[in-house]
Amino acid sequence: MGVSGLNRIEKKAAFSLASVFGVRMLGLFMILPVFAIYGEQLAGYSPLWLGLAIGAYGLTQALLQIPMGILSDKYGRKPVILAGLVVFLIGSIVAALSTSIYGVVLGRALQGMGAIASAILALAADLSREEQRPKVMATIGMFIGLSFTLAMILGPIVADAFGLSGLFWFTGALTIVAMFMIQFMVPYSVSKAPRGDSVALPEQIAKLVRHPQLARLNAGVFVLHMALTACFVTLPKQFVASGLALEDHWQIYLPTLLGSFFLMVPFMIIAMKKQQEKPMFSGAVALLSVALLLLWLIPSGLTSLIISVVLFFTAFNYLEATMPSILSRIAPAGVKGSVMGIYSSSQFLGAFVGGIVGGLVASHFGENSIFLVMAVVSIFWLLLSFGMQKLKKSKSFTFSTTINSEEKAEQVAELLINMPGVIEATLVHDELDGNASEKSHAVAYLKVDDKLVDLPAVKALLS
């Protein structure tokens, strides 16, 4: 098959890796719609420990994402992913067997230690061609979104039928399914995607953290997931207080989440077609702030709750879907793995902090105050978003080339950057083999405007 579509291996890799990612995130998310209710039955319960139990996975995820990606470079993608799933399974069992809130916190922290996201994304990069990689990554992103929606629906149903421990046993069973899929469905690969493009490079981290445009997105995804986790410290109780039994909550989450998906689509089309990504982005952050203020201000009747939650998830889904795309376009050529590693760590750290902040605010100021605190934080994010630069339309390409010296690499990079349509060019000498005794190699990372660039001329220069 030509470059116009995914080939058989890419389709298999996209579906199987997206399924593994989705199944694992489903296990992490299913606690959100029910734990505020069921957590009260556990020994040692307090609002702070409740928030910790909801967000504990975020801290261990944030700390281990980048190290696990580096380990997958050294020991292979599949062994590291399988090891991560085993740790996740152990965490699920610990939580299922726990009768105290402390045991559930420990189990959730262990679940987070199975931090396989970076290794899965690296394997997806290994198994796909450069021009098809965005489709594979988009499939994984879509499955994560679907897993969140499914978790909101399944969580209350499974918890009602089997209790809180049943929820964790169900998560454990899903993890075993994911392990079989990794072993028998995901194609084998020898790493062929350049390392900096798929796995975080430690030496790049500090420099990229200080990048002003990337920092805005990292702060944004931190706030987004902090708000999500904090709100679920109290949101299920708000539904119960408004007269809706927990086992019926899926009847709210299903139409609410579907409605929010339909509402966000026109905004995404306008943003892309009319080149209005920056104002639409700020508009979504503003909508998030409004939804949180409404949750705080309006009495918790069922109708007002549903309207506020639809607005919240419209903003949440729009931002969750568009931020990785914006990130990949801002990311300097050749270090997408490092950029995504920082972004993922910020996302999970936000979930952890949200759990703690939600628990602390509920303990000292009442649960409804959570919405006000998150609205204030979201407004700060809105102000920060105004400083985003307008995005240039670009595509990234990676070319392997034989270059026999550092001096030659610099000369070629200079020629590339002066070619029409080339926005950014980076040549990394000896990246592919790192062995001076063998034939020298270089990798050329290019960010281009594909309407202006002459790709045959670029390839001719590199050859």
CA–CA gap between residue 152 and residue 378 (Å, rounded): 23
The pLDDT of 61-67, averaged and rounded, is 88
- Both tokens assigned to 299: 């009495």
Residues 227-253 have a mean pLDDT of 88
* Section 414-421 average pLDDT: 75
**Contact present, 197 and 431 (Cβ < 8 Å):** no
Radius of gyration of the chain (CA): 23
Helix (H) or strand (E) holding 346: helix 336-365
| Spatial separation of the C-alpha atoms in residues 65 and 114, rounded to whole Å | 9
Query: Per-residue pLDDT for 435 more than 60?
Result: no
**How does pLDDT run across 172-200, given as a tens digit for each residue?**
999 999 999 988 888 776 555 556 666 66
Q: How confident is the model at residue 255 (pLDDT cuts 50, 70, 90)?
A: confident
* CA neighbor of 129 nearest in space, from 10, 299, 252: 10
164 falls in which pLDDT band (50, 70, 90)? very high
Report DSSP letters for 99-138, one per residue. Answer: -BHHHHHHHHHHHHH---HHHHHHHHHHTS-GGGHHHHHH
Burial of 90 (0-12, 13-18, 19+ CB in 10 A): middle
Mean pLDDT comparison of 372-376, 383-387, 436-440, highest-scoring range? 372-376
- For the domain spanning 395-462, the CATH number is 3.30.70
Written as six digits, the tokens of 17 are: 């890796």
Whether 271 has a pLDDT exceeding 80, the answer reads no
Give the CA-trace dihedral at 98, 103, 105, 108, to 10 degrees.
-60
Nearest to 35 by CA among 21, 19, 51, 22: 51
108 vs 105: CA distance, rounded Å: 5
Higher pLDDT, 446 or 185: 185
What pLDDT, on the 0 to 100 scale, is given for residue 219?
A: 94
CA proximity to 131, closest of 312, 214, 224, 7: 7
Tell me the two tokens of residue 461. 């220069």
- Window from 126-140, 154-168, 425-439 with minimum mean pLDDT: 425-439
Burial of 292-303, coded b for 16+ CB within 10 Å and e otherwise, reads bbbbbeeebeee
CB-based contacts of 255, cutoff 8 Å, min separation 6: none
Mean pLDDT value across the chain: 83
322 SS3 class: helix
Q: What is the pLDDT of residue 189?
A: 63
More confidently predicted of 328 and 247:
247
Give the separation between CA 360 and CA 230, rounded to whole angstroms: 10
Lowest mean per-residue pLDDT among 144-158, 163-177, 216-230, 405-419: 405-419
Mean pLDDT over 104-132 rounds to 84
Hey, is 453 helix, strand or coil? coil
Query: What confidence category does residue 442 fall into, taking pLDDT thresholds of 50, 70 and 90?
Result: low
Residue 348 has a pLDDT of: 92
Task: Give the Cα-Cα-Cα angle 456, 461, 462 (nearest 5 degrees).
Answer: 100
**Looking at residue 448, what DSSP letter applies?**
E
CA distance 324 to 338: 13
Class for the domain spanning 8-187+194-385: mainly alpha
pLDDT band at 68 (very low <50, low <70, confident <90, very high): confident
What pLDDT score does 71 carry? 84
CA atoms of 168 and 174, how far apart (whole Å): 10
- pLDDT score, position 130: 64
Can you give the residue ranges of every domain in the chain? Answer: 8-187+194-385, 395-462
pLDDT band with cut points at 50, 70 and 90 for residue 438: very low
Burial label, 224 (beta-carbon count in 10 A; 0-12, 13-18, 19+): buried
Same-fold call for 8-187+194-385 versus 395-462: no
Q: What is the pLDDT of residue 333?
A: 66
Check if the beta carbon of residue 342 is closer than 8 Å to that of residue 217: no
- What tens digit of pLDDT does each residue of 280-305 get? 889 999 999 999 999 999 866 788 88
pLDDT band at 1 (very low <50, low <70, confident <90, very high): very low
pLDDT, tens digit (0-9, with 9 covering 90-100), for 308-344: 999 999 999 888 878 887 887 777 766 777 787 888 8
Angle, vertex CA 437, rays to CA 431 and CA 441, nearest 5: 30
pLDDT at position 458 over 80? no
Per-residue HEC secondary structure of 282-305 comes to HHHHHHHHHHHHHHHHCCCCHHHH
Backbone angles phi, psi at 127, to 5 degrees: -95, 5
Q: Are 164 and 101 in contact (CB under 8 A)?
A: no
Q: ∠ CA 253-299-235 to the nearest 5 degrees?
A: 35
